[in-house]
Amino acid sequence: MKTRHFRSLIDINTSEFNKIIQDAITYKALDNSNNVPTDFTNKTLAMIFKKNSTRTRVSFETAMFKLGGHAIFLSEDSSQLKRGEEISDTGKVLSGMVDLIMIRTNTHNEIKKLAENSSVPIINGLCNLFHPCQLLADMQTITEIKGNNLSDLTMAWIGDGNNMCNSYINASKLLGFKLKISTPHGYEPDSYTLEKFGENVEICELPGSAAEQADVVTTDVWTSMGDEKEDEERKKIFKSYQVNMNLMSKAKDDAIFLHCLPAHRGEEIDDMIIDSKYSSVWQQAHNRLYSSMALIKFLLTLQD
């Protein structure tokens, strides 16, 4: 069987996406009663991090442990990648030793190159273009709160048209929800992703129009990892894209607020919202554990 990878959400189909969400919800219930089955004893996940992480590292490492397997953390600095070993060579070596490889890196091309040189599934733990693992947790969270009919919902993306925004576009195509996006000019989402997968997307000139009657309002940092040099400039450009009470009041009364975290309070998000009744960000963050477990199960079961 051809090795399946999770380079972006487009690597899975709608029914697989829904199955992962349902498995994540099941794992959460099992974990709450200390009944997670250790179905993946002796399975090993290598995790390559070329960028910082709290949630992605801890969720995948804990997920492997709870499933009976083991995770190995490899930072760029402490591995031979730092000394110039090609990612393709690293892929050939690691895939002979472990059952899954997760990578957080700068370019999507590097993820594709690793996948081309790996006999085991590659998981995109975030790159410049996508953050598909986060979307699994986001869709699990929305399902838990709003129910299974995600295609009935309207979601608003406010701020940078970044890796998270591109993954929301992919999710809107797969799950059928309406996605309203408002970004400053020059910070639009990836044009290819929008053209190919944006059939349920509406681009809004003003953040207020995107938030209008939304069921879910979400945003992310104005300066992603790797864009730090632009931080001061971005703070000025994105000023009117803060999710605050004024913006949130345009959404439905029972709307929820999501943020993949880490948040920069006082920039893209006002304390009044992240700590308010609208906010589901802690549930969303905790769901990274369960959606990681479900993704691991999906990829390991497929290959058997």
Least distance in angstroms from the C-beta of 92 to ligand CP: 27
What one-character DSSP code corresponds to residue 3?
P
Strand order in the sheet with 100-104: 70-75, 44-49, 100-104, 122-124
Q: 53 or 154: whose CB is closer to ligand NVA?
A: 53
Judging by DSSP bridges, how do beta strands 154-158 and 122-124 pair with one another?
Answer: unpaired
Q: Which does 141 bind (CB under 5 to 8 A by kind): ligand NVA, ligand CP, none?
A: none
Q: 100 or 221: whose CB is closer to ligand NVA?
A: 221
Q: 261 or 272: whose CB is closer to ligand CP?
A: 261
Site for ligand CP in 242-261 (CB under 6 A): 260-261
Catalytically annotated residue among 7, 104, 234, 259:
104
Stretch that binds ligand NVA, among 7-15, 147-155, 157-165, 194-202 (CB under 6 A): 157-165
> For residues 259 and 220, is the Cβ–Cβ distance under 8 A?
yes
Stretch that binds ligand NVA, among 15-23, 150-158, 219-227, 268-276 (CB under 6 A): 219-227
Least distance in angstroms from the C-beta of 232 to ligand NVA: 17
CA 219, 58, 129, 81 dihedral sign is positive
d(CA 139, CA 153): 11
d(CA 288, CA 299): 16
Catalytically annotated residue among 190, 220, 270, 284:
220
Q: 105 or 154: whose CB is closer to ligand NVA?
A: 105
Q: Is 113 in the site for ligand CP (CB under 6 A)?
A: no
With residue 163 as reference, give the H or E element that holds it: helix 163-175
d(CA 258, CA 78): 34
Q: Is 138 in the site for ligand NVA (CB under 6 A)?
A: no
Tokens of 148: 């299974």
> For residues 241 and 207, is the Cβ–Cβ distance under 8 A?
yes
The set of catalytic residues is 104, 131, 134, 220, 260, 288
Footprint on this chain of ligand NVA (rule: CB under 6 A): 126, 131, 162-164, 220-221, 224-225, 260
